[in-house]
Amino acid sequence: MLLVLALHRIRSDSHGGQRSGAGTGLANPLTQLLLALGLAKACRIRHITDNVINPILQDWTGVANVMSLAGMTFGALAAIPLLTLVSYITGRDLPIGAQAASAVAIVVAMVVTFLSTPMADTPTEYMSNDFPVTGPVVMYWIAYLGPLASAVVVSAVYAVRELTWVRRGPFAAALGFIVVACTLGLTYCVFKILNLVLQQRHSDGFWYRNAEFISIALGLAAITAAGSAAGIYAAYLLKDRLRRYRLLRHNGDIWVRARTMNPDVVLDPGLAFGTTRRACWAAARSPEAAYRLQIELADHAHSERRAAATSHAISRPGVSS
> DSSP string of 13-31?
IIIIIHHHT---STTSHHH
Give the residue from 279, 299, 303, 278 showing the smallest Cα distance to 289: 279
Phi and psi at 92, nearest 5°, equal -120, 175
Return the DSSP state at 63.
-
Distance CA 193, CA 215 (A): 11
Distance CA 62, CA 274 (A): 57
**pLDDT at 65 exceeding the cut of 60:** yes
> Cβ(77)–Cβ(107) under 8 Å?
yes
Q: What is the mean pLDDT of residues 55-74?
A: 94
> Cβ(40)–Cβ(72) under 8 Å?
yes
**pLDDT at 229 exceeding the cut of 90:** no
Q: What is the mean pLDDT of residues 1-15?
A: 84
- Quick: pLDDT tens for 15-43: 554 444 447 788 889 899 999 999 999 99
Would you state the pLDDT for residue 221? 93
Distance CA 31, CA 25 (A): 7
Would you state the pLDDT for residue 20? 43
Tell me the pTM. 0.77
Would you state the pLDDT for residue 144? 95
- Averaged pLDDT score across all residues of the chain: 85
- Picking from 57-66, 127-136, 260-269, which range would have the lowest pLDDT averaged per residue? 260-269
First to last CA, the chain: 70
